[in-house]
């Protein structure tokens, strides 16, 4: 019989607090709780750590992964212009790989071979957790107390009350929320009726864009596709995201209401707020328009779409992801320069761009005198470019005439 401990991804909420005792009861194994800070804000992680111990964990670990998450995960998503189904900036999907990295690390240090998480059996996150864990550590197995040990919400409430766990069971929040520095995801409750409009209480990262403050002009400087300064002030990736969350959030930028295709086949509705992420994604995409060669940009759009899909589907640690990253890295070499934007009333609108490594050539583009584009070569180019379609059209005309006669 296995007696090594189970390493649990611990959020400090009701379900994972009860899971500590529940796993011990059902499997006879001790639990080590791990809380990973990905910039979710809210409760102090030291309070959460002590709660895990109070709920019966043999050990509780807190990992500050905020800079790591911003630099190695959010920035990769930015360089890939990552938006699942063209819309969702992958908030939750991005955090799972970094959380599992820390879980696997703690498990290795403790000689543990089982990692547990609080996800349900219907969502994407169970897939992301488990595929990420076994693709980093093929020798480990995964346990989902909610799915595998029948830890339903009602059971959790009863258990917490009976064992007097130091956790609120009565506070009624109709929503399921997941948040980190890249954004916030809200689902369930009345939002499950997709005709229902979201109410004000759904949002915390953004203010109502209907009543915005005065327009806010911002200039973001990029080096190799990574934002390095805001309004001339150099910042870390985490610093840039936080600064833009604040400023774009005040303008109500980055609110998204999406019915999406889950990996498990269900369509579900989620409300997202990603003020910093959406602002950065708009700016980065614009700088790519200025700096990428046309065919490279066309091909990259396909790579970006595929990248977003596999990250949504939990394939962060896959060979395909590594190969796509190599392509994306190569494309970012010349993505340097500045993007100026106006943040106002729910939108981040680009008003200016400049780049020393751009491909925009004023003297080629201008309609004023002094342009360097040789218009006389355009005629020959068009003749040959249009030739195949012209031949096909001539054939249609010939056949139509033959049919008529
Ligand atoms: N639908 C999003 C995804 O699969 C978010 C999942 C977590 N959402 C939540 N409200 N708990 O990436």
Query: Is 277 in the same domain as 385?
Result: no
Q: Kindly state whether residue 405 falls inside one of the protein's structural domains.
A: no
Q: What CATH number corresponds to the domain at position 100?
A: 3.40.50.620
Record the tokens describing residue 337, joined without a space. Answer: 């320069």
Query: Is 99 in the same domain as 25?
Result: yes
Q: Which of 140, 173, 206 is the last residue of a domain?
A: 173
**Binding site membership of 95 for ligand 1 (Cβ less than 6 Å):** no
Overall domain count for the chain: 3
Record the tokens describing residue 5, joined without a space. Answer: 């401990």
Say how many Å lie between the CA of residue 247 and the centre of ligand 1: 24
Structural contact between residues 285 and 220, judged by C-beta atoms closer than 8 angstroms: no
How far is the C-alpha of 89 from the C-alpha of 318, rounded, in Å? Answer: 20
Structural contact between residues 269 and 259, judged by C-beta atoms closer than 8 angstroms: yes
Q: Which domain holds residue 370?
A: 362-398
Q: Kindly state whether residue 1 falls inside one of the protein's structural domains.
A: no
Q: Which atom of ligand 1 is nearest to the CA of 125?
A: 4
Q: Kindly state whether residue 122 falls inside one of the protein's structural domains.
A: yes
Query: Is 219 in the same domain as 114?
Result: no
For 298-340, what is each residue's pLDDT tens digit?
999 999 999 999 999 999 999 999 999 999 999 999 999 999 9
Query: Is 30 in the same domain as 85?
Result: yes
Strands (E), 163-248: 176-180, 183-187, 216-223, 226-230, 233-234
pTM: 0.97
**Binding site membership of 92 for ligand 1 (Cβ less than 6 Å):** yes
Give the residues of the chain that fall short of pLDDT 50.
Answer: none
Record the tokens describing residue 107, joined without a space. Answer: 């498990």
Query: Is 36 in the same domain as 141?
Result: yes
Query: Is 196 in the same domain as 291?
Result: yes
Q: Is 214 helix (H, G, I), strand (E, B) or coil?
A: coil
Work out whether strand 226-230 and strand 233-234 pair parallel, antiparallel, or are unpaired: antiparallel
Say how many Å lie between the CA of residue 123 and the centre of ligand 1: 8
For 54-71, what is each residue's pLDDT tens digit?
999 999 999 999 999 999
Q: Which of 109, 142, 173 is the last residue of a domain?
A: 173
| pLDDT at residue number 1 | 52
Record the tokens describing residue 105, joined without a space. Answer: 């690390």
Query: Is 234 in the same domain as 310?
Result: yes
By alpha-carbon position, which residue is closest to atom 4 of ligand 1?
124
Q: What CATH number corresponds to the domain at position 320?
A: 3.90.1260.10
Minimal CA–CA distance to 177: which of 150, 206, 209, 204?
204
| pLDDT at residue number 2 | 59
Q: What CATH number corresponds to the domain at position 383?
A: 1.20.5.470
Say how many Å lie between the CA of residue 268 and the centre of ligand 1: 9
**Binding site membership of 59 for ligand 1 (Cβ less than 6 Å):** no
| pLDDT at residue number 370 | 85
Ligand 1 pocket mutation pick from 40, 123, 262, 310 by most atoms within 8 angstroms of CB = 123
Q: Which of 173, 203, 219 is the last residue of a domain?
A: 173
Query: Is 339 in the same domain as 387?
Result: no
**Binding site membership of 270 for ligand 1 (Cβ less than 6 Å):** yes
Q: Is 111 helix (H, G, I), strand (E, B) or coil?
A: coil
Query: Is 166 in the same domain as 188?
Result: no
By alpha-carbon position, which residue is closest to atom 1 of ligand 1?
270
Query: Is 270 in the same domain as 219?
Result: yes
Q: Kindly state whether residue 35 falls inside one of the protein's structural domains.
A: yes
**Binding site membership of 263 for ligand 1 (Cβ less than 6 Å):** no
Say how many Å lie between the CA of residue 178 and the centre of ligand 1: 6
| pLDDT at residue number 385 | 98
Query: Is 215 in the same domain as 131?
Result: no
Q: Which residues lie below 8 Å from residue 42, measured CB to CB, with a gap of 6+?
A: 179
Query: Is 342 in the same domain as 379?
Result: no
Q: Kindly state whether residue 404 falls inside one of the protein's structural domains.
A: no
| pLDDT at residue number 171 | 67
| pLDDT at residue number 297 | 98
């Amino acid at each position: 019989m296995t007696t090594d401990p189970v390493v649990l991804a611990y959020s400090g909420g009701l379900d994972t607090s009860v899971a500590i005792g529940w796993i011990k009861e059902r499997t006879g194994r001790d639990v080590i709780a791990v809380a990973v800070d990905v910039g979710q804000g809210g409760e102090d992680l030291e309070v959460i750590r002590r709660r895990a111990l109070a709920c019966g964990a043999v050990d509780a670990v807190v990992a500050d992964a905020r800079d790591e998450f911003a630099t190695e995960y959010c920035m990769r998503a930015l360089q890939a212009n990552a938006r699942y189904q063209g819309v969702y900036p992958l908030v939750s999907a991005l955090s799972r790989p970094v959380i599992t990295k820390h879980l696997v690390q703690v498990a290795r240090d403790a000689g543990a071979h089982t990692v547990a998480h609080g996800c349900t059996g219907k969502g994407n996150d169970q897939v992301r957790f488990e595929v990420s864990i076994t693709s980093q550590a093929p020798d480990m197995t995964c346990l989902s107390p909610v799915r595998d040990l029948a830890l339903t919400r009602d059971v959790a409430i009863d258990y917490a009350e009976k064992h007097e766990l130091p956790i609120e069971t009565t506070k009624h929040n109709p929503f399921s929320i997941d948040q980190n520095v890249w954004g916030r995801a809200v689902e369930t409750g009345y939002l499950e009726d997709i005709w229902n409009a979201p109410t004000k209480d759904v949002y915390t990262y953004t203010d109502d864009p209907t009543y915005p403050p005065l327009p806010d002009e911002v200039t973001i400087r990029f080096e190799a596709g990574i934002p390095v300064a805001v309004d001339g002030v150099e910042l870390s990736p985490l610093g840039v995201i936080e600064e833009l969350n604040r400023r774009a959030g005040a303008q109500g930028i980055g609110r998204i209401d999406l019915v999406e295709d889950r990996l498990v086949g269900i369509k579900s509705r989620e409300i997202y707020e990603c003020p910093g992420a959406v602002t950065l994604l708009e700016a980065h995409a614009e700088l790519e328009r200025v700096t990428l060669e046309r065919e490279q940009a066309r091909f990259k759009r396909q790579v970006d779409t595929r990248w977003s899909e596999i990250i949504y589907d939990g394939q962060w640690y896959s060979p395909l992801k590594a190969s796509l990253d190599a392509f994306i890295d190569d494309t970012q070499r010349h993505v340097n320069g500045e993007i100026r934007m106006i943040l106002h009333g729910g939108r981040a609108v680009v008003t200016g761009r400049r780049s020393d490594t751009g491909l925009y050539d004023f003297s080629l583009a201008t309609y004023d005198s002094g342009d360097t584009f040789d218009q006389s070569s355009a005629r020959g180019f068009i003749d040959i470019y249009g030739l195949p379609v012209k031949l096909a059209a001539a054939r249609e005309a010939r056949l139509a005439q033959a049919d008529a006669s």
